Structure 1
Amino acid sequence: MGGNSTLQWRTVVQRLIKTEMSRRDVRYQELSERLAAVGTQQSADNLRNKVNKGILGADLLLQILSVLQVKNVNMQELEDIFTDIQGR
């Protein structure tokens, strides 16, 4: 994984969050509620837009991973996503 385009990195962020949400069967409304419970106000629509564009701050990314109870981010998975999108 190198210093490639911002668009590719945004796609990695998008897929990471969507994968973790899918693994836990969490929809955007529930994600919004979980974030609200820790003091972060984000509507379901706002979250959907940010995730679909892959554009969100590091603080929100970490909060999302936290409320989804992600214990590890597998760097090999991220590299696989990155390789997949480079191959297109």
Structure 2
Amino acid sequence: MDQNTAPNPWRKLISRYIKSEMTKKGIKYEELSSRLAKTGTQQTAANLRNKINRGILGADLFVQILFVLETNQLSREQLIEILEEIEKNPN
């Protein structure tokens, strides 16, 4: 297994965090793509789904996603909770 396909708790953290924010806001990948396009970032829904599911995206795209999801705060405590859950249930 290479680095891009190996299980990685940090990538899982990114994936779960973004998915949880999307769920809270009731936003699907198509709408996320549309919101990003309004800020000048072109990402198809399929491309976003792939990047988010893998947890592999650049810091700039991560921040843009948080911006368009109108995320008010990135809580360290929330991230710790997600990491602890990943440790308990790695799949």
Offset from partner CA, 1:20-60 (integer Å, 9 cap, x none): 00000000000000000000000000000000000000000
TM-score (norm 2): 0.88
Q: Return the offset for 1:75.
A: 1.1
TM-score (norm 1): 0.91
Q: Secondary structure at the match of 1:23?
A: helix
Q: Return the offset for 1:6.
A: 7.0
Q: What code does the residue aligned with 1:54 have?
A: G
Q: Bigger shift: 32-41 or 78-87?
A: 78-87
Aligned length: 84
For 1:11-50, list aligned pairs within 5 A.
11-50=12-51
Counterpart for residue 3 of structure 2: none
Q: Which runs of 4+ in 1 moved over 2 A?
A: none
Q: Return the offset for 1:74.
A: 1.4
Instruction: List runs of 5+ in structure 1 lacking aligned partners.
Output: none
Q: Bigger shift: 19-28 or 78-87?
A: 78-87
Counterpart for residue 53 of structure 2: 52
Instruction: List runs of 5+ in structure 2 lacking aligned partners.
Output: 1-5
Q: Secondary structure at the match of 2:27?
A: coil
